[in-house]
Structure 1
Amino acid sequence: MTDNPIVSSRPRVSCIICAFNEAPRIGAVLAVASAHPLLDEVIVVDDGSTDGTAEVVRRFPSVRLITSPSNQGKSAAMAKGIDAARNEWLMLLDADLKGLAPGHITALAAPVLSGAAAVSMSLRENSLLVFRAIGLDFVSGERVVSKALLGDTLNEIRGLPRFGIEVFMNRRIIARRLPIAVTHWPHVTQARKTEKLGYWKGMRAEWRMIADLLKVTYPLALLSQTFHLFSLRVDHASRVPFLVRIRKPRGNLA
């Protein structure tokens, strides 16, 4: 991957990172995101952390920190970040990524900034085996989308279950038939809840997250979402160089 792409006239990108008790992990993500030339601003929404996450974020002066007095869940935190973002494109990153490098951010942004796709999604090294087998992680937390896709639905997003934002976003992508690029991140992993909380607490947290997904949509609908998202996937690998050439993306982004 090219870590220092030459980027000419381009749309501006706001990066949104939602975090809850990620002090041991978020610094590594911010070290990459805050210095990346494609990201015009980096916003961290600290969702009521009690472990010093905010103090870690403050070590990065260029990063904008938004704090919540209590933990409200990823959906509500994301709504705050989207509302605060000032640019037309949003890069959404999880705070607990391991192995993230500048080239991964470039690769995630390039299909959208070049116009090869209207949405991009990551496929991490430790995504579930079934997702890696089909080449699509429908609940990926690393995406590039337009602010127009979500900006007029903030009240609805605030009312979602704690971990319902990705499924909600998928619905809007599918409804608008937006072309999707899947970006493979072969050396990037996400810390599992069992790693953060211990086995039993982590398993309970994983099941609570699954329950939230099922509150947003039914199991068969999740399978349907995966099918529809896969049908929207575009092959961008041979068409998108890291020297980003800008043209208007296909699809209705409003």
Structure 2
Amino acid sequence: MITVSCIIPAHNEAGRIGRVLDVVQNHPLLLEIIVVDDGSTDNTAQIAQGRNVRVISLPENRGKSFAVAEGIAAATGSHLLMLDADLVGLSDDDITALIRPVMQHQADVTISLRRNSPWVWRFIGLDYISGERVFARGLVAKHLGEIRRLPHFGLEVWINQRWIAAGFRLQVVRWPDVISPYKAAKIGWLRGLQADVSMMRDIFRTISLREAVRQIICLKRKAGA
């Protein structure tokens, strides 16, 4: 039987995480919701603690990869739903659409394609670094030490490598009403630009540009199979 644990890493998302938790906290396809507060300096943890979710608070900001690893370590479901904490426009139907193909054995893994994903990803029909995805916990549960040592934003491409090596069937799930706010809108254009550059640096510390291209090609083929 497939059961799904939802892991939501969050850093200073007090103004946004409540809307996401409103959607997931009572969703019938979710076994549990685990919020990992990644050293926030705002009220992110307190907002999450007021909901029907489990909260893990890290004393300092360790980055998304480390935070998700802590959530995986606490999860009990057979599968994981990774979810960003800042999504706008998320609905029950979006969560169901991402989980159902795996539950019905139509796909081994799923990945979201949001309304405001970069235009190139929308054009090709695949956002290979999307933070919203469903996959088996067993794929990553034995690699927590390695995940904790990844660059802050290296997790998604690391997971992609495992998906491709395992030959998993992939389904891309379009979320036409969901957006992820741009960093510039959240923290200002200069800090947002610095954060975007840092994220890209983390990705290419984890994989090469050639490997990134290979991932996009392989995953697109898997999605079209």
Aligned equivalent of 1:25: 16
Q: CA deviation at 1:58?
A: 1.3
Aligned equivalent of 1:171: 161
Aligned equivalent of 1:34: 25
Q: Which runs of 4+ in 1 moved over 4 A?
A: none
Aligned equivalent of 2:117: 127
Q: 2:193 aligns with which of 203, 208, 212?
A: 203
Give the unaligned 5+ runs of structure 1: 1-9, 236-254
CA RMSD across the alignment: 0.8
Give the unaligned 5+ runs of structure 2: none
Q: CA deviation at 1:221?
A: 1.2
Structure 2 CA distance for aligned equivalents of residues 224 and 12 of structure 1: 31
How many pairs were matched up?
A: 225
Q: CA deviation at 1:140?
A: 0.5
Aligned equivalent of 1:3: none
Q: 1:228 aligns with which of 209, 214, 218?
A: 218
Greater RCO, 1 or 2 (C-alpha within 8 Å, sep 6+):
1
Q: CA deviation at 1:192?
A: 1.2
Aligned equivalent of 1:12: 3
Is the aligned partner of 1:48 residue 2:39?
yes
Structure 2 CA distance for aligned equivalents of residues 192 and 82 of structure 1: 26
Question: Does the aligned pair in 2 maintain the 1:179–1:234 contact within 8 Å?
Answer: no
Aligned equivalent of 1:252: none
Q: CA deviation at 1:234?
A: 4.7
Bigger radius of gyration, 1 or 2? 1
Q: CA deviation at 1:11?
A: 1.9
Aligned equivalent of 2:180: 190
Aligned equivalent of 2:134: 144
Q: CA deviation at 1:35?
A: 1.4
TM-score scaled by length of structure 1: 0.87
Q: CA deviation at 1:231?
A: 1.1
Greater percentage in helix? 2
TM-score scaled by length of structure 2: 0.98
